[in-house]
Structure 1
């Protein structure tokens, strides 16, 4: 991969100020004092889903004052020599992580940086070791955030960047591991990416992707309460729902060209027909459920029976008459001249589609073709 020659000079003067470098140096010394360093994060951003929930034992909302956000920092990459494009871009994000504590996206949250070699595969052990680097044990909840970056050429001096973050929530009071999720975002970048752009991207990742489902879990579980929506697990996806519920199995079978596992996500809106007041209702109605489904994946969810509309693209609207105790199978596909299409399929076709994809939100153990996303935290 071609090295970007103008990036190294960008870093010392604009990305990591002297105070930040000093703080990282202290963290590095603390890490060196420990006998055994942790392995680097095993995350592979280009094989991570946009959102993948690995553990969900959280039902109550959390006040920001009760949450401590702890970011694991790769000190060696942040302060070492520029040995390649990935390290250079990783340094951009090291600098952005150092600034995030002062950003509105984390207003009211206790935000700290620790060296990644503090971490072990055990969530509880990692939390117990935080005082080694001066982190107080005040807030009830600790959200550990690990992250990795991948790069590949995108033509000329531009690169396609993927950043994946693994987040785990630990409840100090109950001494329980409550949550684990993977989030990812992508962007094109070159040798002129501004520091404020990095901070803006990280602000989006933290506020909208990592923190939102943790701070406001009840609303995220069912964003439109009158629908009483809930996710169905991969094992349940092809089954019939409860007698008073209707299930939808939505497949994203729209083929895309690219090396990434999920090259781009597609956005759908689900809206009860009673709430479709005009052509723009899905954008302005608080009742609309936003669904993000990556390529080669599917969503399975239950709602109350009734008449709904599934929206995709600018004008696409597919009516769904959802019956109690029944599953409706929907396929999104590439038609002629790259046009998109939505169709209802039968149970046999749905089983074949499920076999070649994986759940877009929940961990899916049945993956004959695509490997699991490796994570750092594996046990309590």
Structure 2
């Protein structure tokens, strides 16, 4: 089927209305970005002033390396949540991809390059399983991906058990953490930025992106407008799985260890970053710029708390609290705005009468 038929924009209404809608969407994305970037700047300033060694080049490098998996997983997660779905299996996909990489390295005799390609493809297959259950059988993505979260994590321990594979080539593990010459910026940040640019263009400057927002607002209306809802959502889950495989490779090489518990709990951090960036958990609203800022904000907070010797359990509490606030506050603000609007409308009607 042709691309235009899959993602055809609604044809009703004048072109000026469509253009104004696009401008409104852009203004919404920039508004989210403004609020999030201010929060990032405040967090960085406070951490620099109050946390020892936060602003050092070495810590900046560690911080950015920590952000690479979070940022990568947040890119497809943003698109999935905008459509009104969610993928909670991303961290387990990372863990299973990591153990499969370790097992293939130990026993397959395959080249390193081929192993990496296979790991990404396996991640895509894991994502396709999610997509099949959600779009093929019509099951809720929350229930499906909670199930595969447990399934994939269990399989990761089946592959390697409690052991770890650490016998990876030194040049590969070094490449995962090396910095751009003359800077403290890890080279791994470059492909992350390139992928973020690609996802941003797709979401904000193509018919595909407009189709995703349409699905998040109303699946039936999107279908009526010519969007292939099931097929689009299926491929979003495939992309999410493939990115999970890519993160599994990076995680394994960065820590020089393939283990079944790699990336445990990362899924909640990813969802928190996406929601902090202004993406609505109910779909249909949000932008990638805000998510990038949300990733930075969450990374800075966690890094500063770790430098301050805050307990790991406290970090989990902070993440959970931010997740709740990122869901509750937007709805509370929207409710307050709606009430104020109704009051103003009643006053206008009374004064007119």
* Superposition TM-score, scaled by structure 1 size: 0.23
- Larger helix proportion of the pair: 2
- Larger strand proportion of the pair: 1
Higher normalized contact order (CA 8 Å, seq sep 6+, divided by chain length)? 2
* Superposition TM-score, scaled by structure 2 size: 0.24
